[in-house]
Amino acid sequence: MESDWRALVARDDIDVIDVCVPQALHATVAIAAAEAGKHVLCEKPLALNQADAKAMLAAVRQAGVRHCVNHNYRRVPAIQLAKQLIDEGRIGRIFHWRATYQQDWIIDPEFPLTWHLQREHAGSGPHGDLNSHSVDLAHFLAGRIETVSCLTASFIDQRPLPGVGAATFAAGAQADSPVCGKVTVEDASLMHVRFANGAIGSFEATRFAAGRKNRNRFEIYGSEGSLAFDLKRMNELELYSRNDPEHIRGFRTILVTEACHPYVGRWWPPGHTIGYEHTFIHTVADFVTAIHTGGAIHPDFSDGLRVIAVLEAALESAASGRQIKVSSIHSPEGVSS
């Protein structure tokens, strides 16, 4: 048992470092781990900013170690099936991507000022936390994002410091009060994008959607059909095919629990569902396999950097009111795999 990550990185009996600290520490820990020859699995988003992400990518490449970003939703069997159907051409040319990721855990103004709500520790709010997942899935399924336009909003600008009681906060919650602190990240983000392949897309990320505990949904519309996924029904994938006979066309729900479906053959008999926790097991299993075989694994740090580039461009758009071209202004140099 180690309480100091530096001691963990220095140990000869440790081969893999799992970086699961606040974003502001990702680069420090991951770079040190790579320099010590450790393979690195890093929580999302990859880094606080592009500069840190590029330094992390350079470090793992220089060390020749395996690296992976834990965008665990890629390893939901239904999402892997969606990728398979897209690659098979079953929905044709993609026209639209629509993603929404909604939570409600900070609506209460008396929720304390955790590190998630401070820019120096988190980088941004739901835009970086939730949209990082959605942007990664968009890159995986729909293609590379080329331009972004973004609008952000802040609804509560100060909160009680951790350990301060609600009554104390309510009695003395002035801006200069010692019992409260300033929220320095956005509370919600709306982003419109254009993909390099000509498709257009939208992203909503918020922690102020009452009743939505963890609603993660995307829809993809193409020339030959459509796909839709909702994490609340994570063992299901919705498919519409324009190639079906006209009299039976409609969205069908595929229960993704057959042994032929991605990952499922390693688990239970058909019809037996898996859960959120299994996506992490799939990630670790794929990462260990990549280490053992020397094969590739995605999303790696280059994929993570591409996500950060989009997120940063979007924040620039929100600040400037302009559409930002990711490829020219925030191009992640040297990230080809």
d(CA 299, CA 8): 25
Q: Average of pLDDT values for 129-138?
A: 98
Q: What is the per-residue DSSP string for 72-105?
A: GGGGSHHHHHHHHHHHTTTT-SEEEEEEEEE--T
Over residues 141-158, the pLDDT tens digits come to: 999 999 999 999 999 999
Amino acid, res. 46: L
At residue 152, φ and ψ (nearest 5 deg) are -120, 160
Q: What is the pTM of this model?
A: 0.93
Please say if the pLDDT value at position 331 is more than 70. Answer: no
Residue 122, H or E segment = helix 119-122
The pLDDT-based confidence of 172 (bands split at 50, 70, 90) is low
Helix 77-87 × helix 131-141 angle, to 10°: 30
* Contact indicator for 177, 70 with CB cutoff of 8 Å: no
> Hey, what amino acid is at 82?
A
Residue 101, C-beta contacts closer than 8 angstroms, at least 6 positions apart: 126, 130, 131, 133, 134, 203, 204, 205, 206, 215, 216, 217
* Domain parsing of the chain, residue ranges: 76-276
Domain 76-276 has CATH 3.30.360.10: yes
* Segment 302-312 mean pLDDT: 97
Q: How does DSSP classify residue 313?
A: H
Across the beta sheet with 39-43, what order do the strands follow? 16-19, 39-43, 67-70
Give whole-number Cα distances, 254 to 42, 54, 205, 215, 240, in Å.
32, 40, 27, 20, 11
Provide the pLDDT confidence category of residue 245 given band limits of 50, 70 and 90. Answer: very high
Residues composing the chain: 337
CB 73 within 8 A of CB 279: yes
Long-range contact set of residues 170-173: C-beta below 8 Å, sequence gap at least 24: 170/110
Q: For 17, phi and psi rounded to 5 degrees?
A: -115, 125
Band the pLDDT of 1: cuts 50, 70, 90: confident
Q: List pLDDT tens digits, range 35-63.
A: 999 999 999 999 999 999 999 999 999 99
Q: How much is the average pLDDT of 148-175?
A: 79
Q: What pLDDT score was predicted for residue 337?
A: 42
Q: Which tokens belong to 174?
A: 């002035």
Find the helix packing angle between 50-63 and 301-320, rounded to 10°.
170
Q: How far apart are CA 45 and CA 321, in angstroms?
A: 24
CA distances from 253 to 36, 95, 193, 236, 241 (A): 48, 21, 28, 6, 12
